[in-house]
Amino acid sequence: MEILGYLSLGFDTALSLNNLLYCLIGVFLGTAIGVLPGLGPVATIAMLLPATFALPPISSLIMLSGIYYGAQYGGSTTAILVNLPGESSSVVTAIDGYQMARNGNAGKALATAGIGSFFAGTVATLLLALFAPPLAELALKFGPAEYFSLMVLGLVASVVLAHGSLLRAIGMIILGLLLGLVGTDVNSGTPRYTFDLPQLADGINFVVVAMGMFGLGEIIANLDHEETRSLLSMKVGRLMPDKDDLKRIVAPILRGTALGSMLGILPGGGAMLSSFAAYSIEKKISKNSAQFGKGAIEGVAAPESANNAGAQTSFIPMLTLGIPSNPVMALMIGAMIIQGIQPGPAVMTEQPALFWGIIASMWIGNFFLIVLNLPMIGLWVRMIMVPYHYLYPGILVFCAIGVFSLNNSEFDVFLMAGFGLFGYVCSKLKMEAAPMLLGFIIGPMMEEYLRRALLLSRSDPMVFLQRPISATMLILAALAMAVVLLPALRKKREEAFVE
Amino acid sequence: MPNFIRNPQDFWSGFIFLFVGLAAVLIGRDYAMGSAGRMGPAYFPTMLGALLSLIGAMSVARSMFRSGEAIGRIALKNLLLIIGAVILFGILVRGAGLVVAVIFLVMASGFASTKFKALPFLAVAIGLAVFSALVFVVALGLPMPVFGPWFGF
C-alpha cells in the first residue's frame, strides 16, 4: 500500500531526534499556556508563534502542531478542574467534567479525556493519511473558479456554524476580507488602504490581528468579571477509570470519534461543532442520560474524542487545499507562508517529507500528551492556580514582545493595541472574532482567484456556474444559507448552541 | 441611548459595519476600478465595502424593530489601562530597552486589577523583565536592547 510508504516516510521525518524534541517542546509549552484560564489554542499559538520563526519549516510546523494539541488538551484540563473552558470546544467538557471533579473524580475525568483524545487522534491520523492524497490530486485539477467557489462555501459554512447572530457573523467575515486587502495590490503595485504609512505597505500581519483580538481583547473582557473561578479543594483522585467506567466510555468514544472526524473536515466545523454535537447526541441516546450534567463520564468521553478527531481532520482541507477551515488553521497557514511554503495541493507532491512528517508528528504529539500529561497533572494544577491578576500582565508581556519581534517594529505593537480595543468592542457587541480572522487570511487569496477566474472567462461571471465542481460548491453554499434562514431550522440551531 | 433603538448590539455592530464599508468604498475611489475581466485594485474592495455597508444598514434597521440584549457595562478604566500599557511598551522598548518596557507594562496593566498591590506587582514585574531578557534576548537572540540608548548604552 502506498499509504504505508508515505506514513513511514512521515515517521522517519517526525522521529528524528530534533523533530521529536520540537514536538515535545510544542506539546509541553502548548499545555502549559493552554491550561491557563482564558487562553485558548488561537491565543496560545499566536503567542508562541514567534518562538518557531528561527526553526526550519518542518520543525516549526511540527512544533506548532504540538502547541495546538497541547493547548487544546490544556483547555480540557482547565474545563474539568475549574469549570473555566479556555476555548469554545471545551465548553461542553466543563459541564460533566467539572461535576465529576466536584464528586472527587477529577482524575478519572482527566484520564477519560486523555484516552478518548488519543484514540480519536489515532483514527483521525489514519483518515488524514487515507484522504489527503486523493483530495490533493483532485485539488490539483482545480482552476481559479473552483478555488473561488470553495472559499465561498468555506466562508458560508463558517457563518452557518458560528453561534450568535448570523448577520454579525457575515459582517465580521467581510470585515476580515477587507482587512486582508490592506497593503500593496500585487497586480498593480498600488498601495491600498495604507493611509500612506510605509508600515502598512506589506499588509497587516495576521499575528498582530490574532494577538490583539484573541489575546488583549480577551484579557480586557476577562477583567470585567475578575476572579470568579473557584478551584476545588484540589484532590485529583484516582487516575485510571475502572472496568465499569471503561465499559461506559467505549461506545461514546467510538461515536465521538466518528462524528468528529466527519465534522472536522467541514469548513468552519472543526473541534467546536464536533464537541457540541457529540455531547447532545450522547445525552439523547445514553442509558444514563439522567446523569448528564451531574457528572456522567460519557459526557466527557464523547465530546473530548470528537473535538480531538475534529481538530485533526480539520488539517485535511488546510494541507490539501490550502484553505483554512477554522482560525487555528488560518494561523497555521500564516505560519507556513512565513516559512516560505505556499499552502496547497502542491505541498504534498513537492515536499512529501514535510507533509507526511506533520501528519506523523500529530500522532506522536497525541502520544506525548497522554504519557506526559497525566503524570504531570500536579504541575498543571499549580499553573492553573496562578491568580489571574499575576497572570494577565505576563500574557501581555509575551504578546508585546512577540509582536514587536515580528518585524522589529513598534508600529506592530501599536496596531495590536488597536485590535485589542476593537476586540473588546466586539466582545461587548457579541461580534465573533473567529470569522474575521478566517476572512482576513482568505481575503487576498479570494481576490486573486476571482481575478484569474474572470480574466480567463473574459469577464463572464457564469463561469462559476458552468464548471460542475464550482457550481456544486456554490449550490451547497446557497443551500446552507437557505437552511439557516428557514425559521424552523434556525430555532434548532439556536437550541444546539444553547446546551 | 435613544429609545427607538431596541437592540443596541445590533445597532452598534451595524454602525461599525456601515462605517467601515462606506469608508472602504470611498477610499477605494482613489484606486483604479478596472473591469470584471481585468480587475483594478479598487474592484474587489469596492464590492466588499458595498456588501458590508448593506449588512450594516440591515443591522441598524433591524435594531429598531427587534429588541435584544443591552450592552454590558463598559470598563473604560481597564480598557484604557491595558491598551495604554501596551502602547507604553511600544514607546519604551527601543529607547529605554526591554527591562524598563516590561516593568512599565506590568505595573500599568496590573493597575487595572482590583487586586493591585504595588510591592508584589513590582516583584512580578522585575521577575518577568529578567526572564524575558534572558529568554528572548540572550537565548533566542531577538534584536532588542536589554537596556536602551536612553541610558547611554
Task: Write out the E strands in A168-288.
Answer: 183-184, 191-192
Residues in chain B closer than 8 A to A227 (CB atoms): 115
Q: How many helices (H) and strands (E) does chain A have?
A: 24, 2
User: Do B36 and A454 count as a contact with CB atoms less than 8 A apart?
Assistant: yes
Q: How many residues does chain B have?
A: 153
Q: Does B32 touch chain A (CB under 8 A)?
A: yes
pLDDT score recorded for residue A497: 56
Read off the DSSP letter of residue B63.
Answer: T
Residues B58 and B110 grouped into a single domain: no
| Structural domain contains residue B88 | yes
Q: Which of residues 102-121 of A touch B (CB under 8 A)?
A: none
| Structural domain contains residue A499 | no
pLDDT in tens, A443-456: 998 999 999 999 99
User: Do A408 and B20 count as a contact with CB atoms less than 8 A apart?
Assistant: no
Read off the C-alpha cell for B18. 456601515
pLDDT score recorded for residue B28: 93
> A304: helix, coil or strand?
helix
pLDDT in tens, A129-163: 888 888 888 888 889 999 999 889 888 887 877 66
pLDDT tens-digit profile, chain B (153 residues):
567 888 899 999 999 999 999 999 999 999 999 888 889 999 999 999 999 999 999 999 999 988 888 888 888 899 999 999 999 999 999 999 999 999 999 999 999 888 888 899 999 999 999 999 998 888 877 788 888 888 876
Q: Does B2 touch chain A (CB under 8 A)?
A: no
Read off the C-alpha cell for A267. 469548513
pLDDT score recorded for residue A499: 44
Nearest to A92 by CA among A366, A293, A312, A251: A293
Q: How many other C-beta atoms can be found within 10 angstroms of the C-beta atom of residue A366?
A: 26
> A190: helix, coil or strand?
coil
pLDDT score recorded for residue A314: 86
| Structural domain contains residue A442 | no
Residues B54 and B82 grouped into a single domain: no
Tally of domains in chain B: 2
Residues B98 and B36 grouped into a single domain: no
Q: Which of residues 38-97 of B touch A (CB under 8 A)?
A: 38-41, 44-45, 48-49, 51-52, 55-56, 58-59, 62, 69, 71-75, 78-79, 82-83, 85-87, 89-91, 93-94
Q: How far is B35 from chain A (nearest CA, A)?
A: 8
A278 is in which domain, residue-wise?
1-146+205-433
pLDDT in tens, A81-95: 888 776 677 788 888
Residues B24 and B53 grouped into a single domain: yes
Given a cut of 70, the residues of chain A with pLDDT beneath it are: 1, 86-87, 162-163, 226-238, 267-271, 487-499
Residues B122 and B97 grouped into a single domain: yes
| Structural domain contains residue B120 | yes
User: Do A429 and B71 count as a contact with CB atoms less than 8 A apart?
Assistant: yes
| Structural domain contains residue B67 | no
| Structural domain contains residue A178 | no
> A80: helix, coil or strand?
helix
Residues B82 and B130 grouped into a single domain: yes
Q: Does A491 touch chain B (CB under 8 A)?
A: no
pLDDT score recorded for residue A481: 85
Report the C-alpha gap between A94 and A295 in whole angstroms.
10
Q: Choose from A397, A455, A457 for mutation: most chain B CBs within 10 A.
A: A397
Report the C-alpha gap between B121 and B106 in whole angstroms.
8
Residues B89 and B57 grouped into a single domain: no
pLDDT score recorded for residue A465: 92
Tally of domains in chain A: 1
| Structural domain contains residue A417 | yes
User: Do B31 and A392 count as a contact with CB atoms less than 8 A apart?
Assistant: no
Confirm if B31 and A453 have CB atoms less than 8 A apart.
Answer: no
Report the C-alpha gap between A92 and A76 in whole angstroms.
10
Q: Does B11 touch chain A (CB under 8 A)?
A: no
| Structural domain contains residue A182 | no
| Structural domain contains residue A152 | no
| Structural domain contains residue B116 | yes
Alpha helix stretches (DSSP H) within A49-90: 57-82
Residues B16 and B53 grouped into a single domain: yes
Q: Does A455 touch chain B (CB under 8 A)?
A: yes
Amino acid residing at A77 = T
Residues B82 and B128 grouped into a single domain: yes
Confirm if A327 and A279 have CB atoms less than 8 A apart.
Answer: no
Nearest chain A residue to B88 by CA: give it.
Answer: A414
pTM for the model stands at 0.88
User: Do B44 and A181 count as a contact with CB atoms less than 8 A apart?
Assistant: yes
Amino acid residing at A256 = G
Task: Specify the pairing of strand A183-184 against strand A191-192.
Answer: antiparallel
Nearest to A111 by CA among A100, A95, A127: A100
Report the C-alpha gap between A70 and A367 in whole angstroms.
11
Q: How far is A43 from chain B (nearest CA, A)?
A: 17
pLDDT in tens, A183-192: 999 888 899 9
pLDDT score recorded for residue A168: 92
Alpha helix stretches (DSSP H) within A16-105: 17-34, 41-48, 57-82, 91-102
B29 is in which domain, residue-wise?
8-62
ipTM, two decimals, is 0.94
